[in-house]
Structure 1
């Protein structure tokens, strides 16, 4: 009886930073749950087969990596379920879900750790990598020297190399690795065609192709991440440059209208230079851009506060003038003088905000209605 076809990895909806539609998210989570259950069953079977294999040590690393990748996907699926909140996720929560799906998996890679690849791929890429590992493990652990279908196995290696070649770019170390394994495949295929025993070389070739495909997926994930970071840095730099001009006008207005304005400079985005392309330099550039954005927030708040305070004093003074007219206190020379002095202080340019606040507070006191029964 033929084994059932494996559940395919679900196609992720939307894109990074997008508030994905509810129905698309629901369908994706259902499909991801089915994928997780199917791959867990398959991994348990492969793990038992690996333990029983004569060369268990040769496949242990890939089994550990495949299970680690599965666990990373399961953890992200739990994050999605929490954010989904039984369908009550709002637009902000659904935007966060898109980051869970398309963002890089948590954790920093550790040199020499066979599970390091799990920290450099997104959820969408992790399912593809897990499937590639399971596919290679299934082929290797099902190998029987007496009954092996060499042609089918060579065809599977060729398909793996095609997928790897589609992921890498010329000049990358991964592209050179793909070329080396492709050359080995051609030699093993030629030997098989002339009737040679290729049992050993074919097993080594399958291991090499699995490793190359895994590395190609990781390299593509890193490249895509670098492209997203470069686009994000370019967009943020443009936004900050546009914001810089508005802040310069705000600073000029505040210094013109306020007697004691803050003494903060507007950050100059152009001093950061062009957006770099190298990964480490790009990460440092993004960090500096975020620092500039925070500095601009500080500048905007510092220069807006006194202008906003002056505007609120004008509004408050107008209310006090209306109150004095309503309760008859505007007939008092003291009240009229207090209102006039406060009005002059608020209208002065540049305005001493502290003095204006004190005078408006005084006007608040003198315009209050007199208490009845007060002794004359």
Structure 2
């Protein structure tokens, strides 16, 4: 059986309904307790009543999951060294997810503040529930095969459910025959969750592969139900099926998170292109001002951001595009610093000439110079003012004249030294 597009498989391909032969309810392990459904959606404020119900259920679920993982951790000690090595990595991942979920629960309870929820708090609750867990650098989720993973709180809870069931089965903590009813129910619920996720995969080989894997699991679940209906012992078949179903669900969640990350990367890159394009235009205006204001003016090539073309859609092309974009950003930084420095030098020279002139006026008012010194000062000042008034201003000549003006003013206005004090 194959699935194509977003159309689910026909009802006849799904496992038949099964009513357990035993009359009494079976005891359940924590693996059958699913995470509570999250209220609302991203951007939809969460009312105080719904938030209280959800936080209460989530706190109980988090505590139960921690107990489950502790039980798995204890059971690992009874396994061989090779089995311990194989299961420890997945247990570490599960504990990482539990820690991130528990940290987010703490933030939710702090924001809820015992029910004191206003409009802003309701919006924050929605963002904390349905936003990405890795928005806080302290909540960094990682899987051995894929690296960083950005998921929402409900997705992380579902993934932790799957990981916990897998770990319990691998650590030989799966319930006995008395719990077969509950475990089969959980399996069927997991298969339906996977069925809902398959149409979300973009059309292509990935969706076809996921649909084929789901079809095989459907057939195995159907066979399991038929065996249980006939009274066969299915305890040995449930564990491997739980593992395979949890792995498929995990893979689909990871793929969805990676697609969300890729979409966010493309959006961020498009935003960066817009910002760099606007900045490049501003630097071109700065370049024109600099060329008009000083000579010799620097001449640097200002890159055209749009020449890089549209933002690629595939991950490999996007990585190369972002590298080229970084080089453009560095080139713009250099051009900005160079032209700004040239204009700053012009302002510095003008400021120096003004300061020396003001100092000269103050000193001459107290000690007027003789006519010859006055003529020299006027000649240097008039030459300096003429150079400063030119457009564009020759900065090399202007700086030299300003330095000469300052030196001459210092020499003619410096108080004479006293010979007696010098001898001492």
Give the TM-score taking structure 1 as reference length: 0.72
Which residue pairs with 2:6 in the alignment?
none
Tell me which of 92, 95, 109 is aligned to 1:70.
95
Which residue pairs with 1:370 in the alignment?
413
Closer, same or farther in 2 for the Cα pair 1:345/1:256, shift >3 Å? same
1:169-203 per-residue CA deviation (whole Å, 9 max, x = no partner) reads 23335633344323432342344334444334322
Measure, in 2, the Cα distance between the counterparts of 1:2 and 1:187: 22
Query: Would you say the 8 A contact 2:276–2:305 is kept in 1?
Result: yes
- 1:352 equivalenced with 2:387 (yes/no): no
1:193-234 per-residue CA deviation (whole Å, 9 max, x = no partner) reads 344443343222111012112212221221111011011001
Q: Give 5+ residue unaligned stretches, structure 1.
A: 16-27, 79-96, 110-114
Tell me which of 116, 137, 145 is aligned to 2:145.
116
Query: Would you say the 8 A contact 1:251–1:303 is kept in 2?
Result: yes
Which residue pairs with 2:239 in the alignment?
203
Closer, same or farther in 2 for the Cα pair 1:354/1:183, shift >3 Å? farther
Tell me which of 245, 268, 271 is aligned to 1:232.
268
Structure with max Cα Rg? 2
Deviates more, 1:44-53 or 1:247-256: 44-53
Deviates more, 1:201-210 or 1:273-282: 201-210
C-alpha RMSD over aligned residues: 4.0
Which residue pairs with 2:13 in the alignment?
none
1:79-109 per-residue CA deviation (whole Å, 9 max, x = no partner) reads xxxxxxxxxxxxxxxxxx945157665xxx8
- 1:245 equivalenced with 2:295 (yes/no): no
Alpha-carbon offset, residue 316 of structure 1: 2.4
Measure, in 1, the Cα distance between the counterparts of 2:342 and 2:246: 64
Measure, in 1, the Cα distance between the counterparts of 2:255 and 2:220: 22
Give the TM-score taking structure 2 as reference length: 0.64
The aligned length equals 326
Measure, in 2, the Cα distance between the counterparts of 1:218 and 1:263: 50
Which residue pairs with 2:165 in the alignment?
135
Measure, in 2, the Cα distance between the counterparts of 1:216 and 1:150: 26
Query: Would you say the 8 A contact 1:120–1:222 is kept in 2?
Result: no
Which residue pairs with 1:46 in the alignment?
72
1:102-145 per-residue CA deviation (whole Å, 9 max, x = no partner) reads 7665xxx8xxxxx324x231486795444431233235633355
Which residue pairs with 2:182 in the alignment?
152
Alpha-carbon offset, residue 300 of structure 1: 0.6
| Larger RCO: 1 or 2 (CA < 8 Å, sep 6+) | 2
Which residue pairs with 1:184 in the alignment?
220
1:5-47 per-residue CA deviation (whole Å, 9 max, x = no partner) reads 99979x9xxx9xxxxxxxxxxxx9xx99x96x98666434213
Query: Would you say the 8 A contact 1:345–1:351 is kept in 2?
Result: yes
Which residue pairs with 1:25 in the alignment?
none
Query: Would you say the 8 A contact 2:98–2:160 is kept in 1?
Result: no
- 1:324 equivalenced with 2:360 (yes/no): yes
Query: SS of the residue aligned with 1:120?
Result: strand
Closer, same or farther in 2 for the Cα pair 1:7/1:165, shift >3 Å? closer
Closer, same or farther in 2 for the Cα pair 1:290/1:362, shift >3 Å? same
Alpha-carbon offset, residue 293 of structure 1: 1.2
Which residue pairs with 1:338 in the alignment?
380
Query: SS of the residue aligned with 2:413?
Result: coil
Measure, in 2, the Cα distance between the counterparts of 1:39 and 1:51: 19
Closer, same or farther in 2 for the Cα pair 1:166/1:227, shift >3 Å? farther
- 1:175 equivalenced with 2:210 (yes/no): yes
Measure, in 1, the Cα distance between the counterparts of 2:178 and 2:268: 50
Closer, same or farther in 2 for the Cα pair 1:345/1:167, shift >3 Å? farther
Measure, in 2, the Cα distance between the counterparts of 1:356 and 1:102: 58
Q: Give 5+ residue unaligned stretches, structure 2.
A: 1-26, 43-54, 104-133, 419-424
Alpha-carbon offset, residue 310 of structure 1: 0.5
Deviates more, 1:69-78 or 1:333-342: 69-78
Measure, in 2, the Cα distance between the counterparts of 1:370 and 1:7: 89
